[in-house]
């Protein structure tokens, strides 16, 4: 009996350890409060827009986008390089958007002024399958994080266990060492800074979702007013000259 009890205890301990390892290894999920806030914002501000673009969001022949639902929110991160080290900064959550149980898009949410809000909605319809595959392949292999850094066009999966850490380029499934990632980010950052210094682009879109606004709207409005005033003068001067000439001709006939 004692031997049997010891065996059962050992099996239970191994089972709990395995479950704990799996729980720690999977991708994190957004809390219910965050998911609820994003779902409410979607229904209030974006459902009508997607309904008007049904064909572009894989909704042809399906029910209304007002009936769409959100899947689990997966956090995604950006990379910051400090000398010889790399840190991950959480950028937001990605929520798969479902219509009649089929994924039709991805909602990206970011934290703005202390509140989670929709930043972007794309028509990518394979995000949920990618997440399921990654979790199945890398379960129990350590901490797993999704890297989606649009600044440097990086789409990576990060895995960190007790032995080492590695990145997987999701575009070609190749393993990349931290040093290679650090070099790639540094080179991209230098190129991006150089491009910004040489850029003459004016308008910058600030924020996202229904909070979006142009940072130089007043400046553009002022320039537009000047241009319209100039055009009005161009058309008005010939009319004035024509009127004067007709008056002179009338005087001559009289």
pLDDT digits (tens, 9 = 90+) for 191-216: 555 544 444 443 322 334 454 333 34
pLDDT digits (tens, 9 = 90+) for 164-191: 889 999 999 899 999 999 888 888 765 5
What is the model's pLDDT at position 8?
A: 32
Long-range contacts of 59-63 (CB under 8 A, 24+ apart): 59/99, 59/104, 62/99, 62/100, 62/102, 62/104, 63/99, 63/100
Length of the chain: 254
Question: Mean pLDDT, to the nearest integer, of 79-92?
Answer: 89
CA 113 to chain CA centroid, nearest Å: 17
pLDDT digits (tens, 9 = 90+) for 119-150: 999 999 999 999 999 888 887 888 899 999 99
Neighbouring-strand partners of residue 146: 76, 157
What is the rounded distance in angstroms from the CA atom of residue 217 to the CA atom of residue 203? 8
Going from the C-alpha of 186 to that of each of 36, 60, 219, the distances in angstroms are 38, 43, 34
Cβ–Cβ under 8 Å, residues 140 and 232: no
What is the model's pLDDT at position 218?
A: 45
∠ CA 151-155-156 to the nearest 5 degrees? 120
pTM: 0.66
**In the predicted model, is pLDDT for residue 88 greater than 70?**
yes
pLDDT digits (tens, 9 = 90+) for 24-42: 447 889 999 999 999 999 9
């Amino acid at each position: 009996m004692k031997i049997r009890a010891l065996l059962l205890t050992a099996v239970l301990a191994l089972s709990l350890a395995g479950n704990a390892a799996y729980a720690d290894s999977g991708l994190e999920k957004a809390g219910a409060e965050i998911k609820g806030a994003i779902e409410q914002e979607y229904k209030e501000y974006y459902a009508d827009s997607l309904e008007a673009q049904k064909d572009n969001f894989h909704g042809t022949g399906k029910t209304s986008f007002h009936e769409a639902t959100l899947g689990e929110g997966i956090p995604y991160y950006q990379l910051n390089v400090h000398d010889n080290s790399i840190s991950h900064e959480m950028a937001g959550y990605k929520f798969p958007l479902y219509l009649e149980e089929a994924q039709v898009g991805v909602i990206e949410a970011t934290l703005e002024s202390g509140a989670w809000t929709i930043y972007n909605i794309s028509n990518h319809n394979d995000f949920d399958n990618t997440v399921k595959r990654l979790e199945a392949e890398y379960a129990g292999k350590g901490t797993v994080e999704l890297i989606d850094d649009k600044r440097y066009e990086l789409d990576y999966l990060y895995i960190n266990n007790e032995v080492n850490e590695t990145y997987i380029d999701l575009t070609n499934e190749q393993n990349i060492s931290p040093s290679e990632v650090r070099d790639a980010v540094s080179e991209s950052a230098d190129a991006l800074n150089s491009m910004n210094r040489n850029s003459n682009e004016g308008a910058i879109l600030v924020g996202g979702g229904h909070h979006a606004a142009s940072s130089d709207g007043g400046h553009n409005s002022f320039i537009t007013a000047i241009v319209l005033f100039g055009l009005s003068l161009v058309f008005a001067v010939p009319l004035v000259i024509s009127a004067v000439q007709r008056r002179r001709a009338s005087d001559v006939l009289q």
